[in-house]
Amino acid sequence: MKQEIKVPAVGESITEATIGSWTKKSGDFVKRNEVLMLLETDKASVEVVAENDGVLTINPGCEAGAVVQIGATVATLDTDAKPAAGAAAPAAETAKAAAPASAPAGAAALPAAAGKDASAHLSPAVNRIVNEKGLDPSAIQGTGKDGRLTKGDVLEAQPGAKPAAPKAAPASAPTGAPALPAAASKQGDKKLVPMTTIRKRISEKLKEAQNTAALLTTFNEVDMGKVMELRSKYKDKFKEKYGVNLGFNGFFVKAVVEALKDFPAVNAWINGTDIEYHNYYNIGIAVSTEKGLMVPNVKDADTLSLAGIELAIRDLAAKGRDGKITPNDLGGGTFSITNGGVFGSLLSTPILNFPQSAILGLHKIQDRPMAINGKVEIRPMMYLALTYDHRIIDGKEAVSFLVKIKELVEDPERLLLEV
């Protein structure tokens, strides 16, 4: 029975996808639930698995890199076929079968010692000249240490030369260090790799944000001392009870939600000639993956506890790393947070996740001298950056929004009590 393998629906607004790669090839016998291919859309990567055992046949024009329509048949699976017997012979038997039992009659055998000494341990420069000139290394007498071939030996040799009798090694090594083989130049060594569908979409969205929004960034700094103390005190009990680490992102998500309630324009965006306000809080968390930067979002973050937020962030990060992010995970965000501090960034100006109107940038926590009540103290400080669309958010709102986040994070008891 031939079973069609079709491109699955991966989102309401998505009509086509790109075949990123096939993990199997035509003629392969595959088992049920094995991954056959990876589909890429402008929002996510989706794995397509075999629904039954069978032999795979990929349709013409459906190779890696092909753009296919949702619902199109890209391959078939012959569920009646069985694995070919003896399809893969053991390597040792294959090598044994390929090797002749004895040398052909009349063939001249090469001296074993000469062949071994001359051809072993060729330097990269010597090996390149040997290949370019089509030389037989065993036919060249080496003048280097232990009879090894030097660059000079192979430059002077002529193709077709017969094996030479070994010469006696020199009584002593020549004075002075031998000249090192010249390193091959890498000028012009480059390759072109097509952009993935996701990378193209990331580029388009970032450029759209720059071309459309009136971007402006405001900065502040937050003393992370109290949050760090709270985290240090309860992290073990938190992990034991909820099965997830107590990080810093959860505190900032809760602070952002409270600040958005006070400044609703930051949770809105421009829709044509209207301002679209949102009475829900879907907070995007930027995740760096092999495919590129993705921003899945924590849905209804205002309804979640600190533990619920941390669990949601953990699950989204895992899905991003495993290539299992869905369009639903990526869609619907109203505000985003990006944390360059995990890579060591001290300060940055993040770009909007368009059409959103603002994004919060977190950075590295660094001990710095601060003036506290007339005295200099060393405090763990973090710079905050808020990039916003000045068309909809005034400077006063942006600065006040960021100050609100600073006040809440510096007073985590107030944040958790929501007072």
* 250-263 as b/e: b if 16+ CB within 10 A: bbbbbbbbbbbeeb
Per-residue confidence (pLDDT) for residue 397, from 0 to 100 = 96
Q: In the numeric block, which tokens belong to residue 388? A: 């916003």
CA dihedral 395, 396, 401, 407 (to 10 degrees): 130
Spatial distance between the Cα atoms of 327 and 42, rounded to a whole number of angstroms: 9
pLDDT of residue 179: 66
Dig out the tokens for 162 from the structure: 């017969």
- H helices then E strands: how many in the chain? 11, 19
Work out the angle between the directed axes of helices 306-321 and 225-242 (0-180°, nearest 10). 80
- What pLDDT does 124 receive? 60
| Contact present, 297 and 283 (Cβ < 8 Å) | yes
Contact yes or no for 384/338 (Cβ under 8 A):
no
Who's near 42: CB < 8 A, 6+ residues apart? Answer: 14, 197, 198, 200, 201
Q: Residue 293 has what pLDDT?
A: 77
Question: The domain 2-78: what is its CATH number?
Answer: 2.40.50.100
Instruction: Supply φ then ψ for residue 225, to 5 degrees.
Output: -55, -50
Which fold, 213-417? Chloramphenicol Acetyltransferase (3.30.559)
Q: Is 86 left (phi over 0), alpha (psi -120 to 50) or beta?
A: left
Predicted local distance difference test score (pLDDT) of residue 104: 42
Question: What is the pTM for the complete model shown?
Answer: 0.63
DSSP states along 377-402: EEEEEEEEEEEEETTTS-HHHHHHHH
Q: In what order do the strands lie in the sheet with 16-22?
A: 45-49, 35-40, 16-22, 67-69
Q: Provide the pairing of β-strand 215-223 with 67-69.
A: unpaired
Stretch (H or E) spanning 155: helix 151-156
Q: Which active-site residues does the annotation give?
A: 390, 394
Q: Kindly report the CA angle at 293 between 289 and 297, in degrees rounded to 5?
A: 100
Q: Is the peptide bond before 355 cis (omega within 30 degrees of 0)?
A: yes
Measuring CA to CA, which residue among 91, 411, 393 is closest to residue 270? 393
- CA 295 → CA 140, 163, 180, 405, distances in Å? 62, 66, 51, 21
Position 192 scores a pLDDT of: 86
- The list of the chain residues with pLDDT below 50 reads 88-120
Detail the DSSP E strand segments found in 299-374: 335-339, 358-362, 366-372
> ∠ CA(154), CA(149), CA(186), 5° rounding?
70
* Nearest-10 crossing angle of helices 395-410, 225-242: 70
- The CB-side HSE value for 66 (13 A sphere, CA atoms) comes to 17
Residue ranges in 170-288 assigned as alpha helix (H): 197-212, 225-242, 249-262
Domain ranges of the chain: 2-78, 127-155, 213-417
Q: Considering only CA atoms, which of 198, 193, 387 is closest in space to residue 289?
A: 198
Alpha carbon distance 219, 37 (integer Å) = 45
**Quick one: pLDDT at residue 164?**
53
* Contacts for 181 with CB less than 8 Å, ≥ 6 apart: 123, 124, 125, 126, 151
Collapsing DSSP states into helix, strand and coil, what is residue 210? helix
Half-sphere exposure (Cβ direction) of 166: Cα atoms closer than 13 Å: 18
Q: Which two tokens stand for residue 284?
A: 């995007």
What's the pLDDT at 178? 64
